[in-house]
């Protein structure tokens, strides 16, 4: 899963970014509204954390532009605790949820997990396919109850496929959602990561759909 943080307070943005990376997400950061709007317009994000009080272009304007352009990624807005009017403006502009400053990072993580679940049609942060169980909250994967050690990129790949279970996901789509903006992206490496994950899981839940991409499906009995 790939996220965008648009926050002009550099220290806060970096703290959030570190916490999200530790939780297994790929993260890009923008420090003003113009840069944030550009990234949200041109890159594919699974969710966005958007501050409303931004320089150059305020958060409500950024969000309104995204929605007018047909960008539908979930957006969690950050607002000042005493500015209830900002919360209303953000929700009316197309935000999906909000957190008031100051906040606990765990609350942001929990609300993001909820947004990501809803956007992919899941009611729980725990996903299961055959013997494979993925706990998004703990960033933990087990097979038949045995914990499997995955790298951050391997976890992101499996998580993205399991959140879109039954769908055929192209290499390009995986590349866009696994790597942050600064990573040297190469869709050919996706094959390598898929191979590693398959080997570690020891079960064929990741199917190759020739010429199209990959799909998570229940393994044959």
Last residue in a domain, options 92, 119, 146: 119
Cβ burial 45-80 (10 Å sphere, 16+ → b, else e): bbbbbbbbbbeebbbbebbbbbeeeebebbbbbbbe
Could you tell me if 42 and 135 lie in one domain? no
Could you tell me if 140 and 55 lie in one domain? no
User: In this predicted structure, what is the pLDDT of residue 198?
Assistant: 92
The DSSP bridge partners found for residue 49 are: 5, 76
Query: What CA–CA distance (Å, rounded) separates 68 from 66?
Result: 5
pLDDT band at residue 54, thresholds of 50, 70 and 90? very high
Q: Is residue 221 part of a domain?
A: no
- Whole-model pTM? 0.73
pLDDT band at residue 55, thresholds of 50, 70 and 90? very high
Please check the confidence at residue 186 and state whether its pLDDT lies above 70. no
Question: Beta strands 97-101 and 75-80: pairing type?
Answer: parallel
User: In this predicted structure, what is the pLDDT of residue 152?
Assistant: 85
Whether 177 and 26 have beta carbons less than 8 Å apart is answered as yes
Mean per-residue pLDDT, 11-16: 94
Separate counts of helices (H) and strands (E) for the chain: 8, 11
User: In this predicted structure, what is the pLDDT of residue 175?
Assistant: 85
**Lowest pLDDT segment from 83-97, 138-152, 173-187, 200-214:** 173-187
Could you tell me if 9 and 84 lie in one domain? yes
What are 36's two structure tokens?
Answer: 């944030």
Q: Is residue 112 part of a domain?
A: yes
Last residue in a domain, options 88, 119, 150: 119
Could you tell me if 140 and 212 lie in one domain? yes
Mean per-residue pLDDT, 180-187: 62
Could you tell me if 62 and 131 lie in one domain? no
Could you tell me if 29 and 70 lie in one domain? yes
Instruction: Indicate the burial class of 147 (C-beta count within 10 angstroms; 0-12, 13-18, 19 or more).
Output: exposed
pLDDT band at residue 81, thresholds of 50, 70 and 90? low
Q: Give the model confidence (pLDDT) of 119-161 as tens digits.
A: 877 767 788 998 999 998 888 999 999 999 998 889 989 999 9
Q: What is the CATH classification number for the domain harbouring 160?
A: 1.10.10.10
Could you tell me if 69 and 164 lie in one domain? no
Please check the confidence at residue 183 and state whether its pLDDT lies above 80. no
Q: Give the model confidence (pLDDT) of 87-98 as tens digits.
A: 888 899 999 999
Structural domain of residue 44, as residue ranges? 2-119
Q: What is the DSSP letter of 179?
A: S
Number of domains comprising the chain:
2
Could you tell me if 54 and 134 lie in one domain? no
Please check the confidence at residue 187 and state whether its pLDDT lies above 60. no
Q: Give the model confidence (pLDDT) of 20-39 as tens digits.
A: 998 889 899 999 999 999 99
Could you tell me if 105 and 156 lie in one domain? no
pLDDT band at residue 5, thresholds of 50, 70 and 90? very high
Q: What is the CATH classification number for the domain harbouring 89?
A: 3.40.50.2300
Could you tell me if 172 and 113 lie in one domain? no
Could you tell me if 112 and 17 lie in one domain? yes
Mean per-residue pLDDT, 44-65: 94
Could you tell me if 110 and 139 lie in one domain? no
Last residue in a domain, options 102, 119, 136: 119
Residues 6 or more apart whose CB falls under 8 angstroms from that of 94 comprise: 63, 64, 66, 67, 75
User: In this predicted structure, what is the pLDDT of residue 219?
Assistant: 59
């Amino acid at each position: 899963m790939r996220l965008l943080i648009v926050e002009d307070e550099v220290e806060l943005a970096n703290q959030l970014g570190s916490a999200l990376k530790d939780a297994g997400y790929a993260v890009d950061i923008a420090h003003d509204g113009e840069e944030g709007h550009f990234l949200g317009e041109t890159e594919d994000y699974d969710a966005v954390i958007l501050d409303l009080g931004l320089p150059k272009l305020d958060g409500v304007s950024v969000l309104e532009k995204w929605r007018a352009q047909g960008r539908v990624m979930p957006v969690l807005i950050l607002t000042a605790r005493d500015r209830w009017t900002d919360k209303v403006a953000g929700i009316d502009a197309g935000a999906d949820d909000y957190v008031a400053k100051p906040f606990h990072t765990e609350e942001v993580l929990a609300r993001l997990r909820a947004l990501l679940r809803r956007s992919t049609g899941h009611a729980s942060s725990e996903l299961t396919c055959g013997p494979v169980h993925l706990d998004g909250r703990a960033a933990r994967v087990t097979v038949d109850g045995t914990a499997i050690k995955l790298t951050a990129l391997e976890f992101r790949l499996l998580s993205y496929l399991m959140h879109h279970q039954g769908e055929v996901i192209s290499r390009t789509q995986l590349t866009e959602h696994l790597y942050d903006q600064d990573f040297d992206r190469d869709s050919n490496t996706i094959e390598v990561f898929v191979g590693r994950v398959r080997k570690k899981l020891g079960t064929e839940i990741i199917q190759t759909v020739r010429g199209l991409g990959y799909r998570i499906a229940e393994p044959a009995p």
